[in-house]
Structure 1
Amino acid sequence: MLEEAIELIQEAGPEGFTLRELARRLGVSHAASYRHFADRGALLTAVAALGCDELAAGIRAALEGAGDDLRARFLAAGYAYVRFALDKPAHFRTMFESAEVDSGDAGYVEATARCRGILIEFIREGQRRGLLVEGDPEVIATPVWAMHHGLASLASAGAFKAHGAGALKGIVDGAHAALLDGLLARGGWGRAQ
């Protein structure tokens, strides 16, 4: 049911998604969805949680694929976040912009924590290696998350189209490199002098 809901959301957007259309596609009665979810908001919340886990998996894969270099890993994680928003714009909007998603739902809270946890662990790793500034990794993760999310939101809204199709990665990498330069420990690897 959730996979079909995600597909329908990608086609119609979160605002155009209906339980009635989902039931029709699944070949079940309209009331069938209520056996699994209390209402449309509960289903959208489950879809959003699933999206957070998918986003986390994409970020994790990008980090692993970037090797051991801190800067390469940071840029790869940021671009993976933006790519998710571009590849699945309606799902991304459902995850973070839908008023019907219950941000206090335990499943959603856990899924967003898993996604944010990847960034926190990245920061801890950089601190252990003496490359990133000292401080509470959870606090430091906030501007990192905001940068990822802001660029993803802007990109999915088409804000960078005027720069040309090939410019997006450079824009995203440049913004993330500037943020990373501010997080590097004094005298640490790669610090601009």
Structure 2
Amino acid sequence: MRSERGLLIVLSGPSGVGKGTVRKALFNQEDIQFQYSVSATTRNPREGEVNGVDYFFKMREEFERMIANNELLEWAEFVGNYYGTPIAYVEQTLQQGKDVFLEIEVQGALQVKKAFPEGVFIFLAPPSLSELKSRIVGRGTETEDVIHNRLTVAKEEIEMMDAYDYVVENDEVQLACDRIKAIVVGEHCRRERVAKYYKQMTEVE
């Protein structure tokens, strides 16, 4: 299937739903050719996270300079920390015809949708709120106050899923990956993305 410009695939959902886990599992599969756009954040690295691979970890002052210089496609402040997507890499990669995969918070995804309405927006949902709480508690990195705040925000974010194109339940990581891959295949076959190429076949030289 032919398409001149790559797809911008945005995966987001509540904190603790497993966005990072699904993204890593997805990118470990051999048939995946997405380009991952690493987000910037001011939060502290979790165990095993690598700067420049999982996130660009920034000091607050540095992040605010990036905001002032319009270097971010989107940004948001979430539970006391900034998160954002550097714009230069995203635009360059799309122009090369490659698919860019963003894993970002809900606030950021809604900003991206305003700038790139042609993107593919996927909401990763938990099987239940009780399961979501178990996953957050299971990290062992959050205080009771932070856990309460994250669950409160999660309820608000679930109400925002109407802004997305697709909803994928993260009941099992591999099933969630399979659903996301099926969505991307379908999007590459959308008429409005490929019609220009095929209509050129009928033009008389």
Higher share in helix: 1
Whether TM exceeds 0.5 here: the answer is no
Normalised to the residue count of structure 2, the TM-score between the two structures is 0.27
- Structure possessing the higher radius of gyration over alpha carbons: 1
Higher share in strand: 2
Higher relative contact order (CA 8 A, sep 6+): 2
